[in-house]
Amino acid sequence: MGLSWKERVFIALLGIAAASGLTMLILILVKATNVFLPADTKFGIVLDAGSSHTSLFVYQWPANKEKDTGVVSQALTCQIEGPGIASYTSDPTQAGESLKGCLEEALALIPQTQHQETPTFLGATAGMRLLSQKNSSQARDILAAVSQTLSNSPVDFWGAKILAGQDEGAFGWITINYVLGMLLKYSSGQWILPEERTLVGALDLGGASTQISFAPQGPILDQSTQATFRLYGANYSIYTHSYLCFGRDQVLTRLLAKLAQNSSVALVRHPCYHSGYLATLPLAPLHESPCVHTTDSMNFTQNLTVEGIGNPGECVAALRSLFNFSSCEDQEDCAFNGVYQPPVHGQFYAFSNFYYTFDFLNLTSRQPLHIVNDTVWKFCQKPWKLVEASYPGQERWLRDYCASGMYILVLLVEGYKFSEETWPSIQFQKQAGGVDIGWTLGYMLNLTGMIPAEALTQWRAQSYSIWMAGVAFAVLTLVAILGAAAVQLFWTQD
């Protein structure tokens, strides 16, 4: 017997109600999946305005932080075209203009809806520290120019300032230890503080300054060399010091100026340049450096003829004369120039010009100190023609690798007091954990502690509960309406 028309209508209405309920259930599941997606990603931009060039970095981290610190990763790096911003003294506006290309690249990566909440900071290092000493108004004009460019961009501009040498060293230390997993690691589905860890020291050699930062075994007796911070719920206290005018470029400039002052003629016999090297150099750049203390007797309008003699012994002696070692004589906790330093302790990463110089000399494989010393001496003794023929296309810095290698040895061994026993603890690296080493990532990590994390988990849980209640109400209402309609139809029709 077939179904009556009433029964067929009733079944159809029930089918519609069931289909509606199923649709709502699917929507619930979709919404649930969306609610439990990873929290929103935050972005930050840091510009490292060094003495020789500027780099832009974009970092990202989940909005939900771990113990008040973001889990930061590098999303983009961009090299600004042109020299360091301190070079734009004659036209400061060009310092700001130079940033626009990389800034556009960064903004293209970051979702447009997040541009206005992306913290952006420019930190100028030793090049601008020197310019500020020499001509503070020029330094202010340059900072004003880059600030205007960044202020006009659709970002949350946190400022442009000259970074203190101590901060540069401390943030570099944070960067290395973070990317090596010494500050935080992922285990069993959660981020935890590593139980067994060996904190790594940082050795940075820039163009105008050099920094040493590490966690000493004993207490830090000079508070001016102490940096403290809190990351991922743990407190850290490290020794850090920055030596202005002891960066690679400024040391080479100071060395040439000292040799020129000691010469009675306009010919300098340079012990750190290879034998057979001969060049005519202007004296004016020596006078322009705040690190060079010149005598009035020197005529900086003339040129200087420089002849290389390739004498590593005299080269070391000339480099030593740039230090004041006597001020630390017979003092265990003293480096040079009267600066307090506890004994070096633990493993160290040496980066920037430490790495570039030793990479050129093939000395980044943790060779013993005596082999490193022997390799540098033998390189310095090579004739210039042989060096030129051996390294085609590298003429720009080729003459300076001997002096740079010797300087690194004097700085690390006689300055920072590394010995034959502690030398193997130094790793000469460009990167750590696949990330370029520098102060910017450490700065961003520290900055995330000052950026409020959105309470996304709580908000999403609340909105999910409200949404679920609304959907359930809608389903029950629909079923009730359809049911009532069916009953009404059934009883009112014959």
- The set of catalytic residues is 168
CA dist 155 and 117 (Å) reads 6
**Amino acid letter at 449?**
G
- Neighbouring residues of 245: CB distance < 8 A, sequence distance ≥ 6: 130, 208, 209, 251, 254, 290, 291
Q: Name the strands in the sheet holding 303-308, side by side, starting at the edge strand that comes first in the sequence.
A: 267-270, 303-308, 278-282
What number of other Cβ atoms are within 10 A of residue 476's Cβ?
A: 12
The DSSP output letter for 480 is H
Give residue for tokens 């990873």: 38
Helix, strand, coil % over all residues of the chain, rounded to 5: 45, 20, 35
Give residue for tokens 């080479």: 252
Element (H, E) at 169: helix 165-179
CA dist 92 and 32 (Å) reads 54
Contact by Cβ (8 Å): 144, 215:
no
- Neighbouring residues of 350: CB distance < 8 A, sequence distance ≥ 6: 203, 205, 358, 412, 426, 427, 428, 429
Contact by Cβ (8 Å): 100, 428:
no
What does the buried/exposed string (b/e) look like for 344-373 if buried means 16 or more CB atoms within 10 Å of the residue's CB? bbebbbbbbbbbbbbebbebbeebebeebb
The residues pairing with 242 across neighbouring beta strands, listed in sequence order, are 211
Cα-only R_g, the chain: 32
What are the φ and ψ backbone dihedral angles of 127, each rounded to 5 degrees?
Answer: -60, -45
Angle, CA of 174, 154 and 65, to the nearest 5°: 35
Element (H, E) at 306: strand 303-308
CA dist 115 and 320 (Å) reads 50
